[in-house]
Structures are given as C-alpha cells and as structure tokens.
A and B are shown apart, each in its own frame.
Chain A
Amino acid sequence: DAGVIQSPRHEVTEMGQEVTLRCKPISGHNSLFWYRQTMMRGLELLIYFNNNVPIDDSGMPEDRFSAKMPNASFSTLKIQPSEPRDSAVYFCASSFRTGRSGELFFGEGSRLTVL
C-alpha cells in the first residue's frame, strides 16, 4: 500500500518566490494534517482538515501561508511570498479518525530552503 506521498522532496528557492507543496494522503483516511519541523521549534501543526474541510488553521504563521484540500486525495500548502525564515521541513500526515482515536501516518517531508 502506498503511504502518504509528498512532493517535492527538496526545494530551494529565492526569497519572494511562490512555493507550492503537495500531498496525497492514504486512501480512505478522513483527516489530513500539515506540520512544519525545525530544530528550534520542533513539530508545529499548521492546519488540519477533516473530510476535506479546514478545521483549525490557527497554526498558519501569517497570510503568506494558505492550504487547500479540493478533494479527499490531494492537498496543497502554498507560501507566497516565501521568506528565509520559512526554511524548514514540511510534513503532511493523514489519519482515519474515529471518535478519539487514530494514528498519524507521515509522508517523508518536503525540505524547503529559502535563500
């Protein structure tokens, strides 16, 4: 079975450019999460969706960040314009949530470097 698939694995861009990260969750999962990981701040939740609907985006740093989930098999995280402080590894994770349970399955991450 395919796991969570993220692309690109690595992206190097210049400050001010638009960055789009993509995620394909595991088929049948009803929740999708975007996390950002840095050495200083660890794993931070940016936004999560339940049944394709954004539930909590309070972790999105600012208006430069946006996320969409147009259908159950695809999500994007966009940064526009990008800044050097956005450099991090961005993880997408999906889960089948039933009541209070569910395991997170992570993708391999997208390592973003903004010069």
Chain B
Amino acid sequence: TQLLEQSPQFLSIQEGENLTVYCNSSSVFSSLQWYRQEPGEGPVLLVTVVTGGEVKKLKRLTFQFGDARKDSSLHITAAQPGDTGLYLCAGDNYGQNFVFGPGTRLSVLP
C-alpha cells in the first residue's frame, strides 16, 4: 500500500513568517502534486513536480521534489492570511491513481 505522510499536521503562524511543510513516502511516484483546499471547496492544483531534484517557484511558494522522487517540500516566504488552507500532496502512481497525504492545515494570522 502506498502511503504519503505530511508534516506538520497543523501550523499556525503570524503574517510575514516563513514556513516549510513536508511530504514523505517510502514509494516512488512518477510525479508529485501539491493542492490547496479552502473550506467548502475542492482541492485546487498548485504545482506538479516530475523530475527528481526539481525545484519550482510560484510567487512566494517554492516546491522541491526529492532526488529519489519519494518526498517533497513546500516553502512559503512571508506568509499572508490568504495562504491559509489545507495543503495536500498527491503522488501520481504512474498514470493510474493518485495517492493523497493527510494534509497540513495552515493558519496565517494577521
């Protein structure tokens, strides 16, 4: 069974602080995706990382895929209240299904 673990589970920070959340697995995935989910809505894709060691930036968000394609990190610089939400990582199982982690619930206080 493929499992993805995320840490921390919960994170509450002040506006302007930096943070990093992690996604780890013992399995190799063909790609890994990060989604953000806001209350009452479905998850929305932020980024897909495909190549081991790949780094992608989306404004203040930096995503990294581990060399072995088993883990990933999301770093947010100067967090803002609009970044509040549930951050989910999902492993693409070689074109079959997607396996989701349990998520990191982020709260950014003004």
CB of A69 closer than 8 Å to a CB of B: no
Q: Which residue of A lies closest to B88 (CB)?
A: A43
The contact of A106 among B42, B92, B95, B103, by CB within 8 Å, is: B42
For window 59-97 of chain B, which residues contact chain A by CB distance below 8 Å?
A: 88, 90, 92, 94-97
Do A93 and B31 form a contact, CB below 8 Å, given A42-B100, A100-B95? no
A100-B95, A104-B43, A107-B42 known; A43 and B31 CB under 8 Å? no
A107-B42, A108-B40 given; A101·B92 CB < 8 A: yes
Whether A106 contacts B30 in the complex (CB less than 8 A), given A33-B97, A43-B100, A99-B95, comes out as: no
B48 located at the interface, meaning its Cβ lies under 8 Å from any Cβ of chain A in the complex: yes
Q: Is the CB of A56 within 8 A of B97?
A: yes
**Does A103 reach chain B (CB closer than 8 Å)?**
yes
Q: Is B107 an interface residue (CB 8 A)?
A: no
Q: Is the CB–CB distance between B96 and A101 below 8 Å?
A: no
Give the size of the chain A interface in residues (CB under 8 angstroms).
Answer: 23
Q: Is the interface of A mostly helix, strand, loop or mixed?
A: strand
**Contact flag A33-B98 (CB < 8 Å), given A106-B42, A106-B43, A109-B42:** yes
Chain B interfacial positions (CB closer than 8 Å to A): 30-31, 33, 35, 40-45, 48, 50, 88, 90, 92, 94-103
A residues neighboring B (CB under 8 Å): 4, 33, 35, 42-43, 45, 48, 55-56, 91, 93, 97, 99-109
